[in-house]
Chains A and B, each alone.
Chain A
């Protein structure tokens, strides 16, 4: 009997393996002939190789059709664009929904679902002609009003705007928002990718209120509509054939550009493991993978089936001091640390390659209109003598400074280790404590737990939104001059004057050194050579991507 059992087991395993090995994945469906529609963005440069390659299609003409398979970092909890606060949620959500307004690659505001005027503290939003929701209903002023109402009740940035909102009403098919004073951030907040004013049907707003919208009720005006969400497997969006691109946005860039929805459908696969993402793209399970380890770029670039490109990430690697208590409240100690830091070495450690970072003394991207180069000569200026002089003037007693970091973001850990080595040259000891990300997030809000913590701060559309401007944010930088300048920035509407105020704030940061930014991170993206026109901004979107095989 045992012999029979053993023989049966062996037979089963043989059969299973044969069944599995003989099975073929289904082939892609043939492509629909391309239409003559314009496109923006790049197609990238194929990797150089002498080996036989699957020939890349020799056309830049967009082609409609096909199924695009992209990766996101985790399974989205919700697809409610108004409430989503993680990239994994925002990427698919903004394919379904559109904002009342939109931002281009430089941060300028364009129409979205609505045309707009903004004069004398009055914002008027008028839904564009022909805009419909995925259920076929026309988008009306009532929908815009209901969306705005929900937005100011649930989103914290909108609540701040609403503190100065004196009236909101529907006038002649437009929604008119009247503010009590000039607020320079109104348009940028409405158009924000991060919890901006997404236009949702009135019925859905009333049904859900401040609660997140269920996937099946995610009915937007976007170029793609919700089809399916299998938890931990994929989110599937299908093209909304009745979508009408915004003609007024012709020539705009980034997310404000007209949306052409070339692909029939887009699969968003949650893949948290980098290796799985990359091997998936190499074998064709996925078409696009984001975030490759730097040591794989060279190998992937030689694969003739793949294209590797760099994309701005909009994230600044940095370290934040405890400005509330402990030895780092001493400005001289902070300056001493800054004077030891070689930013090139730090960013090379963080990113692994000189192609994957940009030195930047400011918390705004170099491509941003808010970029300020001024750093009082202190950024990336290693001067150990000056550092020692600062240290002598400080009250540092030789006790190790607690530097809290995490390996969950490996660049956090790498920069912490390098900083510890650099400051050791002048006698500053660091106790680098490594935790997981949730623990880091908790500890950084407790001034008794750290002296310094690793940070990765995101680029913001307006300097008033930079996190450390708020003295209650971790790091707790409280400074009267900063507060005065922030108040001026929040109330001034002229860009040149605002830029001058922001420049003063940036100088203050280098006088007081409440935190230190190392540089701007760049992200490698790998995609199959039949994919064209992927996003060219830090926001990731695929409505103008097409595939041809």
Chain B
């Protein structure tokens, strides 16, 4: 008893340690000023905004169709999900009926993007524990997702895929072939990758119990996505407010229990398997039909028609010059992004650009809990916690 008192009244000297803004282990531009008691983190002061690019201000100055490239650069690990989310928001505002085929194609694209997002996160957790092999191994497979995106839209990372009302072009045979190949090859490679980490004693000892968070705390901090599910809350936007025909598919939501790094890792691993399941179902049941909805006011007509058809030319002109009528209104739409609920709050005053567009960026909201999660742990654990939360700078800073 007495000894404890002596320790607590003893004058302590804390060290201040600056982690970031540029640091190999932070995977982006985050600054943390840590107050250290020897090896133990007492507190941290976070600074963000190092790549603040003013998306919301730009969005107020761009017509609707020019906002898609901005959404690419939010969470750039899974750009297509952001693109689709934006298209669906505008479609909700306009009240467009989207053909089933487009929904299914979008689901395939979004789930591929989710895989590529989660693969980056889980392999980087591996890198931070010192396991570089899984990273090198799985990145070869990740390139195949990029190959598919490239065939679909011509870009790898910042895809700008799809248009308001549908997809810009139908998939060619090569795309189907590549997706089918992917569905056969990826699970094999991914299983091998999982074997390297999932039940690896060294890895498990390192990540179990690192940076835990309780379900109550996670909800109060506004956690969504895999990080919330790792804490044991089965909240997934794809299920609670289904969009793009997600209700047609049969899939599970993996949940964790303790919300530690291992759970976050395992939830993402589990989601990759579920994504593969969804892609398989969507591809098998892909309906025939058009790859766009009948919204000539917003969906750009094909180039051949613009050159040869008066009506198409007029629509093209109207869309590009921003003459199409947009209803007034406010709409909130959210999709399940790689990191959680990615929301779009769009206020339209009938002009060609949104009056106000706010992105609910999951990273920005849950990164607040970081000090709470790392208090009392060591620096190595802080790094792991950060990489397992998958904080993406572009999304964080908006």
User: Do A and B actually bind?
Assistant: no
Interface positions of A (Cβ within 8 A of B): none
Interface positions of B (Cβ within 8 A of A): none
